[in-house]
Amino acid sequence: KQEVTQIPAALSVPEGENLVLNCSFTDSAIYNLQWFRQDPGKGLTSLLLIQSSQREQTSGRLNASLDKSSGRSTLYIAASQPGDSATYLCAVELYKLSFGAGTTVTVRA
């Protein structure tokens, strides 16, 4: 059974600092890995999808890396802003998506 772990569970940083969010998974046989953002009481919004053959994906200030052999992915958010405050979840897909519990980020102005 695939298990996805996100550490830390919560993170608070001052505005302008770079964010590093970690995701690890136990079974490296995956099709892809996705990072999602969830605002309080809302649904999830997809941020980045990395296919199993890729090493990284970038979108604006966001960069996600994937090391399938070691079962790790990292989401980098450059020059954080208060609007980046949210919960970030990673999910790995084989035949279905398995989600981590998320990292709740607070960016202090």
Partner 1 sequence: SQTIHQWPATLVQPVGSPLSLECTVEGTSNPNLYWYRQAAGRGLQLLFYSVGIGQISSEVPQNLSASRPQDRQFILSSKKLLLSDSGFYLCAWDSHSSGANVLTFGAGSRLTVL
Q: Where along the sequence are the contacts to partner 1 (CB under 8 A)?
A: 4, 9, 31-32, 34, 36, 41-46, 49, 51, 89, 91, 93, 96-102
- How far is the C-alpha of 103 from the C-alpha of 27, rounded, in Å? 21
C-alpha to C-alpha distance for 79 and 76, rounded to whole angstroms: 10
How many CB atoms lie under 10 A from the CB of residue 90? 29
Give least dist CB 102 to partner 1, A: 7
* Least distance (Å) between residue 106 CB and partner 1: 16
C-beta of residue 89 within 8 angstroms of C-beta of residue 48: no
Cβ-based nearer residue to partner 1, 10 or 79: 10
Least distance to partner 1, CB of residue 86, Å? 14
